[in-house]
Chains A and B, each alone.
Chain A
């Protein structure tokens, strides 16, 4: 950490074989446009029959707004827009967490959902809902994100401690430890649900499904600062994570303060995962699908992988949310079902491709 953020290069592009940075820079711009397009698409899409385009154009000053009802504005600005913003934040947060975690564990299969960090964060959040009336009133809207953050932090540290010896992570130990920690967190969450009262139970049920429904500006306000800080911190980790791909001692000899860099990465992963889980429940597989696709397209350089993950993650989740809202309209599928339906087969595909390479 604390290196200069990777400088954006302004020199004329000289192409060199094996240098994918030019392509990566184009990808950043392309993905930003994609995200914008998907966001507009998400705004226009919806169960209610709202003249969405006219509301957008009016707000942009390109339409006089004649004949629009107050409810049209309400639907657009208090229901759809916060949901889109929350989806972008959470999708980006989950994808960046995944990319960071894969860099930290030096393995493309590490993902906060798969190795139990989301479950740990969930346990943190559920404990606060069920047991933490006092904490809730004290920290306000940040109570859930904070408790999820600490749940995620403890889990990540535990994982790292169990699975990494002398700077080498055994992926088998990592996945198995993830199963154990996930199961434990699940059991503890179950106990808490069992002792919860009716009102708490309503909160929990909605939340446990993994959904962007019920997005409000308050929720955005609780989530945005944490995830934006994680986004802001990630460029400073890029150089260290690249060096770490060569191994811990190589990274050290390249001038990286390895221990500090790893600690910061763990905190950032826990913060972004925690904030996401607190706002929308456990949404799986975003953190594995998005960085993997990007590595195929632009290479594993974290200088580009991290910002591209934020953009594509946001677009992916917004799109998945669009699917979840329209597939069984006017009802809604929980978004976790959509991402799992896409992500789980994808995960299996990665396993198949890497079958010969896994050091199980």
Chain B
């Protein structure tokens, strides 16, 4: 009951983006994918969710990705998109409701509304139910989308399907610091309750704080994989990101990554 990827190769035309990447993620953990721009971390995510044609094998909960029917996958996996465009003037309630519709059938309208309210509370958007989605700021839209995605796989573990998987593509890219922490805590909590979370991240400190396992991608290959202590090393990071970084430790065993000036490197 994991996500396993073996020998993932992706090429856009003649340009090869990933050269045989292995990746795995376990339920109950937050697995972070990090790497510099153009390293292929988003492409890896897209291969894991079947959005790009890739060589190699991806399996989810013990069954090959391609052998899951679309509705089967929707029951165990939800994807938070980076793109937050919406074609028609739906309200926040209606957008989040689309997630409810995509998930397991709920008993009645009351349960549906309760679910929508809970999800909006979880992403700190109480009182937004009646607002038009298209009138919201980028960060608010991102949180509405997260609420929608959460509604689709509300239960981190289901009897029938096993663990659920939350894929987050740069989930905090347009959020303020308070909401960055809030959303990452929400993701970590989802994992604590038995679900699996896979996130593409830019911020190394949030990665250090919330990642249980980290896969560091560089030039289409895995540069390092393991716990934060194993992956976040001064030399490894400097090598991959091309600038000097200082890893330290703060109380509660959290690591932090302090950037140094490039010229000082």
Interface residues of A, Cβ cutoff 8 Å to B: 9, 11-14, 16-20, 103, 106-108, 239, 242-247, 249-250, 252-257, 295, 299-301
Contact = CB atoms under 8 A, between A and B. Distances in A.
Contacts of B90: 245, 299-301
A11 B101 contact: no
B97 interface: yes
A6 to B, nearest CB: 8
Contact of B109 (A14, A239, A243, A255): A14
A30 B108 CA distance: 25
Contacts of B91: 17-20, 299
Interface string B90-101: 111111011101
Given A295-B88, A299-B91, A254 B129 contact: no
Contacts of B83: 247, 250
Given A18-B129, A255-B71, A11 B97 contact: no
B73 A108 contact: no
Contacts of A247: 81, 83, 85
A103 B87 CA distance: 8
A247 to B, nearest CB: 6
B63 to A, nearest CB: 16
Given A245-B88, A299-B94, A253 B101 contact: no
B113 A19 contact: yes
A19 B88 contact: no
B43 to A, nearest CB: 14
A39 B240 CA distance: 73
12 contacts: A11-B109, A12-B109, A16-B113, A18-B92, A242-B101, A245-B86, A245-B87, A246-B81, A254-B74, A254-B98, A299-B91, A300-B89
Interface in B47-89: 49, 51, 70-75, 77-79, 81, 83, 85-89
A254 B102 contact: yes
A17 B90 CA distance: 12
Q: Which of A247, A254, A295, A299 has the most CB of B within 10 A?
A: A254
Contact of B89 (A14, A252, A299): A299
Nearest to B79: A253
A252 B92 CA distance: 21
Nearest to B92: A18
Nearest to A301: B94
Contacts of B88: 106, 108, 245, 295, 300
A17 B130 CA distance: 5
A163 B79 CA distance: 27
Interface of B: 49, 51, 70-75, 77-79, 81, 83, 85-95, 97-99, 101-102, 108-110, 113, 116-117, 129-131, 152
Best-surrounded residue of A17, A252, A255, A295 (most CB of chain B within 10 A): A255
B67 to A, nearest CB: 15
Contacts of B78: 253
Contacts of B73: 253, 255
A19 B72 CA distance: 28
A18 B130 contact: yes
Nearest to A6: B101
Nearest to A7: B105
A253 B72 CA distance: 10
A16 B118 CA distance: 13
A209 to B, nearest CB: 34
B129 A16 contact: yes
Q: 8 closest pairs, A vs B, by CB?
A: A255-B74, A18-B93, A17-B130, A300-B88, A18-B91, A106-B87, A254-B102, A18-B130
Contacts of B97: 19
Given A245-B90, A253-B78, A14 B110 contact: yes
Contacts of A299: 89-91, 94
A20 B71 CA distance: 26
Contact of A253 (B77, B92, B109, B131): B77
B70 A252 contact: yes
Given A9-B109, A11-B108, A249-B81, A18 B131 contact: yes
A111 B169 CA distance: 35
